[in-house]
Structure 1
Amino acid sequence: METPNIYLSRKNPSKGAAITGWILSGLCILFLLVDAVMKIALAAPSVQGSTQLGWPAEHVQGLGFILLAPTILYAIPRTAVLGAVLLCCYLGGAVAVMYRMNVPFYFPVVMGILLWVALYLRIPAIRSVFPLVKN
């Protein structure tokens, strides 16, 4: 008897799951774009927050560009998975910096989880890699 290969399943998500995934993605993209633009524009709250975490003020703008690139990749459907991987790298660095400064670091962890949940809800291939089925 042959066992079904769940990794080859490409069943499209339900309409509700896809809409929820797009809404979550949109909210994540909106937040990350605002954060990146504030860093690039050297907005006072962004510079102040980064310097409190130990970043020199002259590096804040560079961090904004580093955040902007994967956010744009995440916003484009064909490159969303690559963008999510790169954003998780960025957020992992944020967790490390916040942990080192003894600051609560739950927000970047939650953001990383939301990025992947949104992709899971809207992309069938992600569901194939991480199947949530009973055997």
Structure 2
Amino acid sequence: MAASGKIVWVGRGISVLVSLVFLISAFMKLKGGAEVMQGMAHLGLPESLILPLAILEVSCVVIYLIPATSILGAILLTGYIGGAICTHLRVGDPFFIQIALGIFVWLGLYLRENRLKALIPLRTRQVS
């Protein structure tokens, strides 16, 4: 396997791990329980948002994992993460995890998606 092939697999691995974080979060919301209710109350969010947030997380992850729509999925996940950061800032909670998730969403996609590399080249070609 070529080095570029290994990089693609690293990107896929990162993307799957990030997706699992969102899917576990959605599952916990769907499962419910006192911890979820306390978390929503702490963040000042009504319990009626639990199901829509879980559906939104799962939908964004599915769009992110499908190669043809992965860039759109990353954009949607970035928006979701931005909302989470804003919510945590509002109540004075730390938001490092959300920033790290956003970085890993894009890192995983960048390593596995050539279309993104064409849009955002991290290296410039040397002209001889």
**TM over 0.5, shorter chain:** yes
Alignment match, 1:67: 57
Which shows bigger deviation, 47-56 or 30-39?
A: 47-56
Deviation at residue 41 of structure 1 after TM alignment: 2.6
Q: Deviations over 1:71-111 (max 9, x none)?
A: 11112111111111111101000000100111101111110
Question: Which amino acid is the alignment partner of residue 106 of structure 1?
Answer: F
8 Å Cα contact 1:13-1:121 kept in structure 2:
no
1:115 and 2:96 aligned: no
Alignment match, 1:34: 24
Question: Which amino acid is the alignment partner of residue 16 of structure 1?
Answer: K
Structure showing the higher helix proportion among its residues: 2
1:82 and 2:72 aligned: yes
Deviation at residue 43 of structure 1 after TM alignment: 3.6
Over the residues paired in the alignment, what is the CA RMSD in angstroms?
A: 1.7
1:125 and 2:115 aligned: yes
Q: Distance in 1 between matches of 2:107 and 2:74?
A: 11
Q: Distance in 2 between matches of 1:46 and 1:76?
A: 29
Gaps spanning 5+ residues in structure 2: where? none
Question: Which amino acid is the alignment partner of residue 57 of structure 1?
Answer: E
1:20 and 2:1 aligned: no
Q: Deviations over 1:10-48 (max 9, x none)?
A: xx9702211110100010111111111211232432332
TM-score for both structures, normalised by structure 1: 0.84
Deviation at residue 56 of structure 1 after TM alignment: 1.4
TM-score for both structures, normalised by structure 2: 0.88
Secondary structure at the counterpart of residue 103 of structure 1: coil
Q: Distance in 2 between matches of 1:13 and 1:44?
A: 47
Alignment match, 1:54: 44
For these two proteins, the number of residue pairs brought into alignment is: 124
Q: Distance in 2 between matches of 1:119 and 1:66?
A: 19
Q: Distance in 2 between matches of 1:47 and 1:74?
A: 28
